[in-house]
């Protein structure tokens, strides 16, 4: 269901709650649309210390004033005025949306022209925060106690507001679908089911096709690295390929998106610790983001040709599992010594990257929950970006910052290559030194990207939350990270 977005005058509001953004220490917006009686009431509450403007606060008050169009007002905390940015608005909107779902599905938001963000930028951030902040991860619970956000109304002026907000709502909904995939249990979301989801998307939007190759297809292509990871599971692997070819696409440019989709990762023979292993259903978050973002690009009609390649399989133990010490031959002919079967993501990506380049991708971007070390380095807020081209890396980082999927540039260097030198093969898939883990993983992937710009997004900390974050992504589980970044990047690349 699509969230409806509209822009109205103050006297035309009809909603379950009217959100009034408030900066610390309880400062309401400098907006003539705010009813003076309500302004006075908020000032009294601020004086009493009940409304503080603290970031993420959503203080609700029932009102009886005529003309507001809502029975409740939420004082939405933005934090200190000097620190208000798009993330602050997303966080405040998420708090309001979660509060509103207790009694209805319609939220009105009073835009503040005194903020440094334009009304359109405010609207975009508010929609993202509300739609993603109200997300409910408990799809499998039998009791449903909350409403869903169905309508967001902005009180303000500007022709660009509705367009920006509507687009943001559509992208945020696609991000929430990626969260659904990440949160789905592995007994439900198998590689075959992820391929079926890609096919469903292709049936919903124009100019998009989806195909999937099974184990025989992998062997015919010579994908020895991907096939080896998959061979321990009874659920067969799928190489999911989505192609978007709209009329009027930018000539000479084809964006290649590659996603790691390990639908369950036990670590294989190099088995993981049992603590939090249940979260390893989320090791397909990068691939899920690629699938849903490709759908979003087609849904929005972005004039850019795209080929998306998602390597989907399980990494399990069994009589057929690949072993430490095995030597694999990847699609590009290079050989890989397996040191650790839990360093499987780079193996499946190796073949998928080469395939995407073979399919004509001029610009490559891969997303993967790849290394636990990245989460240790940047936590759950930023993903790390490595690239073989400085300008392409800068474009990816800029798209992340603009979209709210934050990314940070990190270095590759040929001297990191020594960490994956092997005595027996062209390279090995892990170093035992414990140094530069995300960087040498990036160097490994660079062996398979061919000619042209490529960037690697290690989203280990940002793709699936073990613990909720104190912002609009306030729920454990999948975050939909990467969907907004990809759409923003594709939109910019198409222009």
Comparing CA positions, the residue from 363, 341, 316 lying closest to residue 490 is 363
Residues 6+ apart with CB under 8 A from 491: 300, 302, 304
Residue 203 CA to chain centroid, in angstroms?
A: 22
Are 419 and 433 spatial neighbours (Cβ–Cβ below 8 Å)? yes
Terminal Cα distance for the chain, rounded: 29
> Measured on CA atoms in the order 361, 438, 478, 394, is the torsion positive or negative?
negative
Q: Which among 346, 357, 393, 428 is annotated as catalytic?
A: 346
**Cross-strand partners of 329:** 335
Query: In 279-406, which ranges are E strands?
Result: 305-315, 327-329, 335-337, 363-368, 383-387
188 φ/ψ angles, rounded to the nearest 5 degrees: -105, -45
Q: Which residues fall within 8 angstroms of residue 391, CB to CB, at 6 or more apart? A: 453
Catalytic residue among 39, 250, 272, 492: 272
Helices (H) and strands (E) in the chain, counts: 13, 19
Contacts of 107 (CB under 8 A, 6+ apart): 15, 16, 17, 19, 93, 96, 97, 100, 130, 149, 151, 152, 153
CB environment 217-227: b (16+ within 10 A), e (fewer): ebeebbbbbbb
Cα separation, 232 vs 375, whole angstroms: 27
Task: Characterize the bridge pairing of strands 17-24 and 106-110.
Answer: parallel
With beta carbons less than 8 A apart as the criterion, state whether 215 and 261 touch: no
Question: Do the beta carbons of residue 242 and residue 250 sit within 8 Å?
Answer: no
**Rounded Cα distance, 328 and 43, in Å:** 68
Active site residue 272: yes
List Cβ neighbours of 64 (8 Å cut-off, separation of 6 or more): none
Helix (H, G, I), strand (E, B) or coil at 237: coil
As annotated, the active-site residues are: 272, 346
């Amino acid at each position: 269901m699509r969230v409806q977005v509209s822009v109205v005058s103050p006297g035309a509001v009809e909603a379950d709650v009217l959100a009034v953004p408030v900066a610390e220490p309880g400062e309401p917006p400098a907006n003539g649309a705010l009813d003076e009686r309500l302004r006075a009431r908020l000032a009294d509450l601020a004086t009493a210390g009940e409304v503080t403007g603290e970031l993420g606060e959503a203080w609700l008050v029932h009102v009886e004033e005529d003309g507001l169009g809502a029975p409740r007002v939420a004082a939405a905390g933005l934090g200190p005025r000097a620190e208000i940015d798009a993330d602050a608005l997303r966080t405040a909107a998420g708090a309001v949306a979660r509060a509103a779902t207790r009694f209805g599905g319609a939220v009105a938001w009073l835009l503040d022209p005194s903020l440094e963000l334009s009304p359109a930028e405010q609207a975009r951030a508010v929609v993202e925060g509300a739609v993603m902040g109200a997300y409910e991860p408990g799809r499998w619970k039998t009791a449903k106690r909350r409403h869903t956000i169905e309508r967001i109304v902005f009180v303000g002026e500007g022709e660009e507001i509705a367009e920006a907000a509507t687009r943001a709502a559509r992208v945020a909904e696609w991000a929430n679908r990626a969260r659904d995939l990440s949160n789905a249990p592995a007994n439900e979301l198998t590689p075959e089911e992820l391929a079926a989801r890609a096919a469903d998307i292709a049936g919903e939007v124009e100019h998009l096709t989806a195909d999937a190759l099974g184990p025989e297809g992998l062997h015919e292509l010579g994908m020895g690295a991907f096939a080896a990871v998959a061979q321990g599971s009874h659920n067969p692997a799928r190489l999911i390929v989505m192609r978007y070819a709209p009329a009027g696409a930018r000539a000479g440019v084809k964006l290649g998106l590659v996603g790691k989709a390990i639908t369950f990762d036990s670590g294989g023979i190099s088995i993981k610790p049992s603590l939090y292993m249940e979260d390893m259903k989320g090791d397909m978050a990068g691939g899920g983001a690629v699938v849903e973002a490709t759908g979003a690009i087609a849904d929005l009609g972005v004039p850019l040709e795209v080929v998306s390649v998602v390597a989907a399989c399980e990494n399990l133990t069994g009589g057929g599992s690949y072993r430490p010490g095995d030597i694999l031959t990847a699609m590009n002919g290079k050989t890989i010594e397996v040191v650790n079967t839990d360093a499987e993501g780079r193996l499946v990506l190796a073949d998928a990257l080469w395939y995407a380049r073979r399919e004509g991708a001029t610009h490559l971007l891969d997303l993967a929950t790849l290394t636990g070390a990245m989460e240790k380095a940047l936590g759950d807020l930023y993903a790390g970006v490595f690239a073989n081209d400085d300008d392409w890396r800068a474009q990816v980082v800029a798209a992340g910052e603009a979209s709210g999927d934050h990314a940070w540039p990190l270095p590759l260097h040929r001297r990191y290559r020594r960490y994956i030198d092997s005595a027996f093969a062209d390279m090995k898939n892990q170093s035992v030194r414990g140094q530069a883990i995300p960087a040498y993983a990036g160097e490994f992937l660079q062996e398979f990207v061919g000619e042209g710009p490529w960037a690697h997004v290690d989203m280990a900390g940002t793709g699936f939350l073990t613990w909720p974050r104190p912002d609009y992504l306030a729920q454990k589980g999948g975050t939909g990270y990467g969907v907004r970044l990809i759409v923003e990047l594709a939109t910019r690349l198409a222009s």
